Structure 1
């Protein structure tokens, strides 16, 4: 690779954020979502035949899925503090957009920032599906290897998507509550047994669930609680409005498809042939951005729903560039990106083969 420094790129002019453009993006995303749900209500309450209702709802759920993906992409920008000019606005709308998909924005953004700090360093960050090193994979039993292959298959995008958006934030809160009660009980028993009643409140145990992105500190825990309260109240309201069975099935399918799209896009932007996959001692953050982040050659209409995250090398060079400036910044620096990977939709399927990290040769390899 010809050595390229971050200072070689024209970045500064594209860092400027614009509240008008940000508000425009928010409104042109949330208003259509509300309008589409109103249309859904009219369809299910109209005396159409069931087959006609299903026929009408299929394109609608596809459209809602795309808008759900866009809300997640805009939430992602808020997490980078790059959508609005003020941090407070990014936090507020990030939280609001997180409610649409049922995910706590702050916890997700902190976890995502870890990915940005270590992109291309596969010794530290194992990607969205926790890729195993070749050495670790070879140490598995035959049954464990089969399970690994199946659990990383592209078909798992769907149950994985359902878990990621529907179950995980709720399960995280349940485990936190369970651990907290358990720790209080254990501490209380020990204190009473040792007659240290005055120190009962000195509970220093962690209530962090077994997820890397939930409950790391009080502010994350607080947002997780508020997010769950508002989301569950919203679900109850929607169940009363649309009917329990219809809403839960329709909404679950919507979030499953949306998460599958997002996980798929994130995956192919970092797991692909010749992706940059270094050990810590050989890792360089600029090289990780250029060679470890693929750029997607996809239709403009699909780029709109993904908030131009397709221009991923530039995004990793500077996550503070607003999505509405990414395309222009990418074009201004295209002469420096000739070594980056550009993928078409037809290339996506091949990317899902690269689920082993050859740590000795520092590259991702397809599973055999």
Structure 2
């Protein structure tokens, strides 16, 4: 399960490039009423680029560090994502999954934090934890991944390189796209597929570790292995989404060991089901009903019942 298959890895890259090209050809040739189909397809295929870069960040794409770094950077360029800052921050999420105060992916606010923020920040938090969850990764991307001053030593230099690389790419690609195809061409070929990518980025990451009965825990009660095994969700998506996104939804084995390449995740999950099935969180199926349960209820940290919705908290506390 941990053995890297060079042919499988590079075949994935080739197939993903082909799927993205197919999407852009569709955008170029399709009549207007079919464009949304190709925007969704292309944005989902761009998410596949992210997943390949995700494996590179975990060093599970190649056994050569420089290959992982360069493939990761190239995969992240079309979505304007600095590779090293994401890699470093994402490793923190793996180390401290569902640990209050340390996990940097979808950690809920404490109620006193909610009280201490002003109405603007409260409203933003309510939106991105609620029905506008799909915008959350854009805020995360803009706020956390371009400021290399937050890092120290070698990491600062790595993050600076990644950030300046994507800024330089955007500074060349965006004006060129607008000059040749106009503003609508920029929106049609880049912005709308990019928004679809962020829809999946936000959706995958919130679904992976959030449910009304999955508890974030205080440091004194938190156990790393237990949180990885019982606090991670396997969610089934339409098969075409799983194909384009390289089974990133098969997420429990990835948290047991991030060294497992994407193409071995299903095999590893079958082994976990056979040997540790009683400890795994029940599988879910992607649907609006599932998403509404998460985004309408999982807002504020509650040590006794996992989460409390903002509306419930306002009723119980008299908060405005």
1:358 equivalent in structure 2:
302
Shift of 1:135: 3.8
Structure 1 residues 59 and 100: CA distance shift in structure 2, 3 A: same
- Identify which of 234, 245, 250 aligns with 1:306: 245
Counterparts of residues 170-185 of structure 1 (less than 5 Å): none
Shift of 1:219: 1.8
2:280 equivalent in structure 1:
340
* Cα deviation code 1:274-332 (max 9, x no counterpart): 21321111211111111211111233322222221222121101001000000001001
CA–CA distance in 1 between the matches of 2:23 and 2:180?
A: 14
1:287 equivalent in structure 2:
226
Structure 1 residues 316 and 34: CA distance shift in structure 2, 3 A: same
- Identify which of 27, 51, 60 aligns with 1:73: 51
Q: Residue 41 of structure 1 contacts residue 242 of structure 1 at CA under 8 Å; is this kept in 2?
A: no
Q: Residue 24 of structure 2 contacts residue 189 of structure 2 at CA under 8 Å; is this kept in 1?
A: no
Q: Residue 162 of structure 1 contacts residue 255 of structure 1 at CA under 8 Å; is this kept in 2?
A: no
CA–CA distance in 2 between the matches of 1:16 and 1:297?
A: 25
Shift of 1:233: 1.2
1:131 equivalent in structure 2:
108
SS at match of 1:278: coil
Q: Unpaired segments of 5 or more residues in structure 1?
A: 1-13, 44-52, 177-206
CA–CA distance in 2 between the matches of 1:348 and 1:90?
A: 33
Structure 1 residues 302 and 151: CA distance shift in structure 2, 3 A: closer
CA–CA distance in 2 between the matches of 1:151 and 1:84?
A: 35
1:28 equivalent in structure 2:
15
Give the TM-score, by structure 1 length. Answer: 0.75
Computed over aligned residues only, the root mean square deviation of the Cα atoms, in angstroms, reads 2.7
Shift of 1:111: 0.5
Q: Residue 133 of structure 2 contacts residue 202 of structure 2 at CA under 8 Å; is this kept in 1?
A: no
CA–CA distance in 2 between the matches of 1:143 and 1:97?
A: 35
1:100 equivalent in structure 2:
78
Shift of 1:163: 4.8
CA–CA distance in 1 between the matches of 2:115 and 2:134?
A: 25
Shift of 1:141: 7.0
Bigger CA radius of gyration: 1
Shift of 1:106: 1.3
CA–CA distance in 2 between the matches of 1:120 and 1:95?
A: 28
> In the comparison of the two structures, how many residue pairs are matched?
305
Q: Unpaired segments of 5 or more residues in structure 2?
A: 313-320
1:248 equivalent in structure 2:
187
1:199 equivalent in structure 2:
none
Structure 1 residues 97 and 241: CA distance shift in structure 2, 3 A: same
Shift of 1:365: 3.4
Structure 1 residues 133 and 305: CA distance shift in structure 2, 3 A: same
* Cα deviation code 1:67-125 (max 9, x no counterpart): 01111111111111112232221111100001021101111111000000000212322
Counterparts of residues 142-291 of structure 1 (less than 5 Å): 145=122, 148-158=125-135, 160-163=136-139, 168=142, 208=149, 217-291=156-230
